[in-house]
A = this chain, B = another copy of it.
Amino acid sequence: MTDPRAQTVGDLGERALLARIFAALSGSSRALVGPGDDAAVLAAPDGRVVVSTDTLVHGPDFRLAWSNGLDLGWKAAAVNLADIAAMGARPTALVVALALPDETQAAFVDDLARGLRAACDALAPGCAVEGGDLTASDTLTIAITVLGVLDGADPVLRSGARAGDTVAVAGTLGAAARGLALLFDRFRSADGTPIPVDEAALTAAERNDLRAQLRPAPPIAQGPAAAGGGATAMMDVSDGLLLDARRMAEASEVRIDLDPALDEHALRGGEDHALLACFPPGIALPAGFRPIGRVLARAADAPDRDGFVTVGGAPVTGRGGWDPHRDWDAVRG
């Protein structure tokens, strides 16, 4: 008889696999109609729903040698929850599309479901997996769509920053990038292949960085808190502070000047999923936010594609952040 822990997705088939996933999620649904029908039905009490989607793909976004199912489920949930928080909204539901190679271990899928649930419970209590889809694929892919509600507040866009605002951040900056550097520098074989992490070989600070990379904990509750605290603009820092601050400045037609004390990992490292927000002058920052710069008027004669972000008043040089299509080859390395 086969060891049940060794069963693969191909052995089980869709129906049995779905039953296992439902078991891992059992009791978590808050939907009007939960998983199992053609679609879920969710409450949207103030007549609006916030929605975003983000995908993790084996290769560019994770390696199975470095991330287990619990890590991946957690991270896939966390990065999506952050997009809802960044609108000033409260996440209420995930729908999860899994594309799985036949040889995927069924136990891995159990862990993935448990990781999704654990991240929701820890970061966004009340949010649960309310629907999904299973497909066969050669490439393990986790595509999540997250929904949320605004509880009567206005959404906070990235286009609302005004000259004079304080630029602030909640959450870590640079830790996820340091964690990724650790994996690349210390946990690959001579030919570049990822090898399992030996946590005992890490310092406490390094373990924190690794955790920020593998199980990020973005400050989800700070999103609605920022909206309630008067934030004029907000977004999550997923591709690096320089690149994301530039997007905010461009959308708001302002210049953002960042604190020169920020180091290179904080400025250029991706995947932190911190919340970057602007607040009017003279307003106390909500708990969890710290100032990292200010919003200035953009010079009328600034070059079209430049001058949106400065650091200590000086222009930024070099690469801004992460682009999956441009940067993936380096990551394969």
Contacts and interface: CB of A to CB of B under 8 A. Distances in A.
A70 interface: no
A40 B50 contact: yes
A155 B48 contact: no
Q: How many copies does the complex hold?
A: 2
Interface in A101-159: 102, 130-139, 141, 143, 145-148, 150, 155, 157-159
Contacts of A155: 32-33, 37, 39, 41
Given A44-B44, A47-B45, A143-B97, A135 B55 contact: yes
13 contacts: A32-B155, A38-B83, A39-B84, A42-B50, A42-B51, A43-B47, A43-B48, A51-B93, A53-B95, A53-B143, A60-B135, A102-B325, A136-B328
A15 interface: yes
Contacts of A325: 9-10, 12-14, 17, 100, 102, 134, 136
Given A55-B99, A136-B57, A325-B136, A37 B87 contact: yes
Contacts of A141: 57, 99, 137, 139, 141, 143
Contacts of A150: 41
Nearest to A32: B48
Contact of A137 (B44, B95, B139, B157): B139
Interface string A68-92: 0000000000000001101101000
Interface size class of A (residues with CB under 8 A): 35 or more
B136 A324 contact: yes
B49 A41 contact: yes
